[in-house]
Amino acid sequence: MMTEDQMMALPPIMAASGNHETAIREFFPETFTYEGTEPEFGGPLVLLGFFNRSGSTLLGEYLKGLRGFSGFAEHLNHPVVRNVSEKQGIESFPDYFRAAQARYSPKPKHIHGFKASWDQLLMLKRARIDKMYQGVKMVHIVRGDVVGQAISLVIANQTLQWTSRQTPQATADPVFNAGRIARAVQACLEEEIRMRLVTELLEVPYMRVTYEGLDNSPATVIARIGRFLGRNLSTWSPSEPRLERQANELNAEWRERYMAMAKDELLASLDVGLDPLLTTISDSDGHGLSGDP
């Protein structure tokens, strides 16, 4: 029997390949890994870290609209990798990045970024794609209002409408389910924690931004990202985004309903009164579920 010191230190889910890596390895069974010993590109591999409904699509729209920037879409998802590779005759995973670099980043200082989840970051490291670049930099966008994010995720899973430019696919209206929202809250929190742990363990330069901060002052957030990437973006000002806000009265109604149910369940599980509980929460760190931490 193993002692505690001999047990795995890494959570099992983080030691296994994700579904995107598994499918891409199957598509490139002999040519998944970069075999070179020197970088091929002049700049870092810039990644936009995300989880569903975190605001990454809006931030990606802003970033790829900047002069000298492109990409920042979900081009590491295995269906996209397969489709692009088949259309362009790409025969290896490293060639997928060479093709993107040749098409979008012909100039040395141009940045072609990719959206990446924590497991896609691990996929890139296992494939040694980071060795093709001058390191990796991660801009991670999260939602301060994790309950709002979870509700948005549950609604999108039912309507199959992930952006305002898509048409809802479901014929029936979304159905409220507190259990689904609770599981989505947990998933949102776990995904954020895993990204922060992975980037810290891999010593990847990391910058965290929030959707709320981006929504309130996009120029401030873009200027901060510019400094992180070594670019002066302080004079940038946003144009009207092509994406429309999807949250509406239904989201607000579900949030109020869920929070009331969760509060009742939490209080029922505690042998304390209402006032001491609220005092402890408000005094703990001064932050609620909304806004920038």
**Per-residue pLDDT tens digits for 220-255:** 999 999 999 999 999 999 877 665 555 578 999 999
Query: What pTM was computed for the model?
Result: 0.84
Given a cut of 80, whether residue 131 has pLDDT beyond it is yes
8 Å CB contact between 163 and 74 = no
State the DSSP H helix or E strand holding residue 73, giving kind and residue range, or none if neither: strand 69-73
Ramachandran angles phi, psi of 206, nearest 5°: -130, 135
| 229 contacts 111 by C-beta, under 8 angstroms | yes
For residues 53 and 279, which has the higher predicted lDDT (pLDDT)? 53
pLDDT of residue 285: 44
Flag whether pLDDT at 4 surpasses 80: no
pLDDT at residue 289 greater than cutoff 50: no
